[in-house]
A and B are shown apart, each in its own frame.
Chain A
Amino acid sequence: DTEVTQTPKHLVMGMTNKKSLKCEQHMGHRAMYWYKQKAKKPPELMFVYSYEKLSINESVPSRFSPECPNSSLLNLHLHALQPEDSALYLCASSQGSSRELGNEQFFGPGTRLTVL
């Protein structure tokens, strides 16, 4: 089963709201990722968790806060976002880290976020 699930599918929030995006995988993968994708652009890496530890933070503003409660779950907490943060937020997982072979990344369906 190569399924990564994400909730919610759509989210509309104001600039003062606090919300969370959730991601789950049950493939036993040890690496999980958050990406941001704007229209007609490729996915842009935000965070990488490897073995439940944050291994890459791509200088993402602190209004985005990732959390990995366990090896199957990944959250992205959102606070005081700006309209330019509106995008498709993608979660992905892989068996191992990018340095290893057999590290194919599988994406979830994404959360379409609109910040008003």
Chain B
Amino acid sequence: QKEVEQNSGPLSVPEGAIASLNCTYSDRGSQSFFWYRQYSGKSPELIMFIYSNGDKEDGRFTAQLNKASQYVSLLIRDSQPSDSATYLCAVNGWQDSSYKLIFGSGTRLLVRP
């Protein structure tokens, strides 16, 4: 089982819709959760982080964390074509005897005009 799992997509949504991206993780001791956006050929950009159960909102983005179910999600409201990118979920946890940031394989989001 992969430590951090994401659906690779592509997730295709029309402009103006809500895009919902999901991520599950295996290390119950994880305490820090991050969402990065990565445009093709560019580096990852941190867009949200969440440490406590519940919702955290920042502009059009909402991160949701449920530690009991070991999932974290990202909602993007009023999706725009400029949101089309790969979204990487990352979780701090143990892997190969080190505590580190563990990435999911990413979900590609396509927002159709």
Of the candidates B43, B44, B51, B92, the one whose C-beta lies within 8 Å of that of A98 is B92
- Minimum CB distance partner of B45 in chain A: A107
Main SS class of interface, B: strand
B101 close to A42 (CB less than 8 A): no
**Which of B34, B51, B92 has the most chain A CB within a 10 Å cutoff?**
B92
The smallest C-beta distance from A2 to any residue of chain B, in angstroms, reads: 8
Most chain-B Cβ atoms within 10 A of its Cβ — which of A42, A43, A99? A42
Across the two chains, which residue of chain B brings its CB closest to A44? Answer: B103
Interface residues on chain B, size class:
20 to 34
Chain B residues near A101 (CB-CB < 8 A): 31-32, 51
1/0 per residue, CB under 8 A from A, across B13-55: the answer is: 0000000000000000001101010000011111001010000
Which of chain B's residues has its CB closest to A55's CB? B98
On B, residues with C-beta under 8 Å from A are 31-32, 34, 36, 42-46, 49, 51, 88, 90, 92, 96, 98-101, 103-106
Report 15 cross-chain contacts, Cβ distance below 8 Å, ordered by A residue: A41-B105, A42-B105, A43-B88, A45-B101, A48-B100, A56-B98, A56-B100, A98-B92, A99-B92, A103-B92, A105-B34, A105-B90, A106-B46, A109-B42, A110-B42
A42-B106, A105-B101 given; 5 more Cβ-contact pairs under 8 Å: A42-B88, A101-B31, A101-B32, A107-B45, A110-B43
